[in-house]
C-alpha cells in the first residue's frame, strides 16, 4: 500500500457514493424500489467536485462509474420524453454510452499494457475477468462507421457497472486509499508469464557477443530507453529516405540492446516471486544473464544469494528439491559455482548500499548458518577493504566508514563463531555425494542452449514470433465420434443489425 493524495476527506464519503450510485440499481426488482430516493445525480455532482480538486487524484473506477451512470440517466430522460419532444435524440444517447464504455475499458486495460510488444486486449481482459465482448464493443465504437445499437449499449453499460460493483465497490478488502495501481499490484506477473522470461533469456543469449562488444551501452545504471538521440536518428532517417518504411537492419544497435535490457528489467520489477525468477535464470544459465542481472536489476544480488543459501541450508526439503537438481546439472561442482556465480556476485555488490539494507542481509545470512554463509561474510569483508568508498563530502565519508566498521565487526564475530564448524569439504561433498543420485533425475531435463547469433534480422524475427504466439488461436480438434456439420440455411432466418435481440 502506498501513501497517496485522495480528493475525499473521510471514508464515509465513499460509503455514501456507493449507496447513491447503486442503491436503486440493486433494488430494481424490489417492490419498494419506487420509494427509494434517487441520489445518482448527487453522486455524479460529488464526483465532479472531486475532479475539480485534481483529476489525477481520482481513481479511474470512480470516475468511470460516474460517466456510465450519467449515460444511463440521459437514456432514461430520452425514454421518458414525449413523442413530440426532440430535446434528446437516439444518436446522442448512443454516443454517450459508447464514449463511457470506451473510457471504461481503456482505463482498465491500458495501464497494464507495458510490454515491448502490445499484448492483445482480450488477454489483458481475461486477467481481470472482464467480459471479452466488452472489448469487441469498444473496438466497434472506436473504429466502425456505424454506432452499436442502443439495446446492446444498454446491456454493455449494465455489465460494466456490474463489474465495477463486484471488483471495486463491493470488495471489502479495498480500503479508502485503493487505486488502480493497487489493484494492478495485487496481480503478480500481470500480462507476463514464465514463458516470456524464458523467451527474453534465449534472445539475450543469442546476442551475447553483441552485448559483450557493446557493454558500455547497457552496463551503466543511467541507461535510458528513450533518448533525444533516438528521435534525432528517426528524423535523420526520414530526411534521407522520406516515408520509406524503416528496415530491420537500420535499427541502431544501441536501441536494440536497450529495448532487450529494459524488457528484462520490467519482467524483474513486475514479478512478485523473485525466487522463481532466479530459479528460471539458473535453469537457463548463461554468464551474460547473470552479468546483466547483477549490474542492471535492483536487489538481484540479494535474491540470488538468498536462493543459494536457502538451497544449501536444507537440500532435502521438498521446497528446494528442484533448486538442488538445477545446481547439480548446471554447475556440477563447488569450484564451478564459485567461479561462475559467487565471485561475480561479490564483485558486483553495491557496497555503498549495504549499510542502508544491512539488517536484511544480516537476517538472511545468520538465520541460515552454513559454509556458504561463512564464505559470504569472508568474501564481503575482503571486498569491503578494496571497494571504492570515495566521496566529495568528508562527513558523508566518515559516516559510511563508521557503518562499514560496525558491519565488519559483526561479520568477524560470526566468522569467529563458525570458522571451525563449517568447512569447504562440506559443500564439495554436497555436490559429489548427490551427483550420482540426481544425475538420473536431471538427465531428462537437460536444456539445449540456443545458438549465438549477432544477426539483427534473425533476432527481430524471434521477437516477432513471440508476439504472434500470444495472439494464436487454439486449433479446433474433433474426435472420431464427432461429425463435422455443414452450414445449412435456417428456414425462419431474418437479418437484424448488430445488437438487436
Query: Dmax of the chain from CA atoms?
Result: 98
375-409 pLDDT, tens digit per residue, is: 888 888 887 776 555 444 455 566 667 777 888 88
**Helix (H, G, I), strand (E, B), or coil: what is residue 220?**
coil
Q: Is the dihedral of CA 81, 85, 86, 91 positive or negative?
A: positive
What 8-state DSSP symbol labels residue 460?
Answer: H
**Cα distance from N-terminal residue to C-terminal residue, the chain:** 45
Q: Is the pLDDT of residue 226 over 50?
A: no
* 291 is a domain residue: no
Total domain count, the chain: 1
Average pLDDT over residues 430-436: 71
Please write the tens of the pLDDT for every residue from 249-294.
Answer: 556 777 778 888 888 888 888 888 889 899 999 999 999 999 999 9
Residue 456: pLDDT band (50, 70, 90) is: low
26: in domain: yes
123 in a structural domain: yes
Quickly state the pLDDT bin for 96 (edges 50, 70, 90).
Answer: very high
- 169 inside domain: yes
Tell me: the pLDDT tens digits for 105-125? 999 988 877 665 677 888 888
The mean per-residue pLDDT over the stretch 71-84 comes to 86
Q: What is the DSSP string of 27-83?
A: TTTSGGGGGS---HHHHHHHHHHHHHT-GGGS-HHHHHHHHHHHHHHHHHHHHHS-T
Residue 436 has pLDDT above 60, yes or no: no
Tell me whether residue 52 is in a domain.
yes
Name the most confidently modeled range: 135-139, 164-168, 464-468. Answer: 135-139
| CB 51, CB 59: distance < 8 Å | no
> Does a structural domain hold residue 377?
no
In this prediction the pTM is 0.48
**Residue 498 DSSP label:** T
Let me know if residue 465 belongs to a domain.
no
Q: What's the mean pLDDT in 193-200?
A: 79
Domain that holds residue 88: 11-185
- C-alpha distances (whole Å) from 388 to each of 350, 378, 400 are 10, 18, 11
C-alpha dihedral (95, 99, 101, 105), degrees to nearest 10: 150
Please give the grid coordinates belonging to residue 433. Answer: 555425494
Average pLDDT, the chain: 76
Decide if 35 is inside a domain: yes
442: which 3 cell numbers? 536431471
Cβ 304 vs Cβ 278: under 8 Å: yes
> pLDDT of 466-498, one tens digit each?
556 545 544 444 444 545 455 666 677 777 766
Which residues have a Cβ under 8 Å from the Cβ of 454 and sit 6 or more positions away?
Answer: 207, 209, 210
Amino acid at each position: 500500500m502506498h501513501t497517496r493524495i485522495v480528493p475525499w476527506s473521510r471514508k464515509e464519503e465513499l460509503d455514501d457514493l456507493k449507496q447513491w450510485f447503486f442503491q436503486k440499481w440493486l433494488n430494481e426488482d424490489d417492490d419498494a424500489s419506487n420509494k427509494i430516493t434517487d441520489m445518482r445525480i448527487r453522486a455524479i455532482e460529488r464526483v465532479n467536485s472531486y475532479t475539480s480538486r485534481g483529476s489525477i487524484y481520482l481513481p479511474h473506477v470512480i470516475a468511470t462509474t460516474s460517466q456510465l451512470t450519467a449515460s444511463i440517466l440521459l437514456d432514461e430522460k430520452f425514454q421518458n420524453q414525449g413523442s413530440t419532444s426532440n430535446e434528446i435524440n437516439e444518436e446522442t444517447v448512443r454516443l454517450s454510452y459508447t464514449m463511457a464504455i470506451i473510457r471504461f475499458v481503456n482505463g482498465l486495460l491500458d495501464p497494464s499494457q507495458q510490454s515491448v510488444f502490445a499484448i492483445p486486449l482480450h488477454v489483458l481482459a481475461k486477467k481481470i475477468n472482464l467480459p471479452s465482448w466488452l472489448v469487441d464493443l469498444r473496438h466497434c465504437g472506436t473504429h466502425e462507421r456505424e454506432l452499436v445499437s442502443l439495446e446492446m449499449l444498454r446491456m454493455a453499460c449494465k455489465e460494466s457497472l456490474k463489474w465495477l460493483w463486484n471488483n471495486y465497490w463491493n470488495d471489502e478488502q479495498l480500503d479508502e486509499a485503493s487505486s488502480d495501481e493497487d489493484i494492478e499490484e495485487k496481480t503478480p506477473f500481470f500480462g507476463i508469464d514464465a514463458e516470456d522470461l524464458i523467451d527474453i533469456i534465449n534472445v539475450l543469449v543469442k546476442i551475447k557477443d553483441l552485448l559483450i562488444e557493446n557493454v558500455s551501452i547497457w552496463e551503466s545504471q543511467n541507461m535510458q530507453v528513450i533518448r533525444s538521440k533516438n528521435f534525432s536518428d528517426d528524423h535523420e532517417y526520414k530526411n534521407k529516405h522520406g516515408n520509406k518504411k524503416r528496415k530491420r537492419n537500420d535499427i541502431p544497435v544501441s536501441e536494440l540492446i536497450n529495448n532487450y535490457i529494459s524488457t528484462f528489467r520490467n519482467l524483474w520489477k513486475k514479478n512478485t516471486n523473485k525466487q522463481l525468477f532466479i530459479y528460471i535464470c539458473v535453469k537457463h544459465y548463461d554468464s551474460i544473464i547473470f552479468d546483466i542481472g547483477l549490474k542492471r536489476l535492483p536487489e538481484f544480488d540479494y535474491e540470488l544469494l538468498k536462493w543459494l543459501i536457502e538451497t544449501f541450508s536444507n537440500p532435502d526439503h521438498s521446497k528446494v528439491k528442484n533448486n538442488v537438481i538445477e545446481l547439480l546439472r548446471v554447475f556440477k561442482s563447488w569450484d564451478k559455482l564459485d567461479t561462475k556465480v559467487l565471485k561475480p556476485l561479490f564483485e558486483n555488490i553495491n557496497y555503498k548500499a549495504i549499510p542502508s539494507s544491512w539488517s536484511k542481509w544480516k537476517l538472511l545470512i545468520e538465520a541460515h548458518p552454513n559454509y556458504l554463509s561463512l564464505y559470504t561474510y569472508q568474501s564481503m569483508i575482503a571486498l569491503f577493504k578494496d571497494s571504492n568508498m570515495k566521496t566529495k563530502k568528508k562527513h558523508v565519508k566518515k559516516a559510511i566508514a563508521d557503518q562499514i566498521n560496525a558491519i565488519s565487526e559483526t561479520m568477524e564475530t560470526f566468522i569467529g563463531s563458525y570458522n571451525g564448524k563449517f568447512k569447504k569439504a562440506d559443500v564439495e561433498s554436497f555436490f559429489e555425494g548427490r551427483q550420482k543420485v540426481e544425475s538420473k533425475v536431471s538427465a531428462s531435463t537437460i536444456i539445449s542452449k540456443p545458438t549465438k547469433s549477432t544477426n539483427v534480422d534473425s533476432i527481430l524475427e524471434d521477437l516477432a514470433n513471440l508476439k504472434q504466439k500470444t495472439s494464436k488461436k487454439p486449433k479446433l480438434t474433433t474426435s472420431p465420434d464427432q461429425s463435422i456439420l455443414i452450414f445449412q440455411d435456417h428456414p425462419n432466418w431474418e437479418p437484424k443489425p448488430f445488437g438487436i435481440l
